[in-house]
Amino acid sequence: MDIKRALLVEHSKKQCSKIVRYIGSDPKRFAELMRLFLKGEYRITQRAAWPMSYSAINQPQLIRPFFSHLMNKLNKKGLHPAVARNTLRLLQDIEIPKRYHGKLMTICFDHIQSNTIPVAIKAFSITILYKLSKQYPDIAPELRLIIEERWSVETAAFRSRAKIILNGYSKSELTNNNSQLVL
């Protein structure tokens, strides 16, 4: 399969699944997809994001050699929402190397505080922050505070994900200085 041609032929779930099946657990095929994702033209990058995320979720070992590139891509300004959404989708489902935790927390906190970031990106960011808060409990109160501040201006989808996440915490994890959770 010519992955680039497959990405250009059709942008659909069916085509995404075909590409994911073709890649399977083959590191060379995944490397080709990542090359298109990281260095391809705008439309190719956008379309490669979807099968890249599902391939990496299915075979997490494939993404390990590309983590640095993935984080650099995620940190770029003007990133197409599909690229950010699919990157964060996979990051919420895999183990993230410790050296990227700080950078990823910053990115995710920036996303959930933004007025312009699409809700799916915010939802994936909240989930990533929740998972990281199990290793870094000091971020849980900050996450709670941001969710409370954004509650009235966010969508129902944001509030739904936020509520699930907040319910996953014990009361003591969410408080500092005995503040009360108010939603």
Q: Is residue 76 part of a domain?
A: no
Alpha helices, H only, the chain = 3-9, 13-23, 27-39, 42-58, 67-74, 81-91, 101-113, 119-133, 139-150, 156-167, 171-174
Q: How far apart are CA 143 and CA 129, in angstroms?
A: 8
109 with 53, same domain: the answer is no
54 with 102, same domain: the answer is no
Mean predicted lDDT score pLDDT of the chain: 91
52 with 104, same domain: the answer is no
Domain range for 13 is 1-67
Cα angle 104, 134, 127; round to 5: 55
Domain tally, the chain: 2
Q: Over the stretch 128-168, which tens digit does the pLDDT of each residue have?
A: 999 999 999 999 999 999 999 999 999 999 999 999 988 88
Q: Is residue 181 part of a domain?
A: yes
Averaged pLDDT for residues 2-30: 96
61 with 106, same domain: the answer is no
Q: Residue 123: what pLDDT?
A: 94
Q: Residue 15: what pLDDT?
A: 96
pLDDT at 102 over 90: yes
Amino acid identity for residue 22 in this structure: Y
pLDDT-derived band at 169 (thresholds 50, 70, 90) equals confident
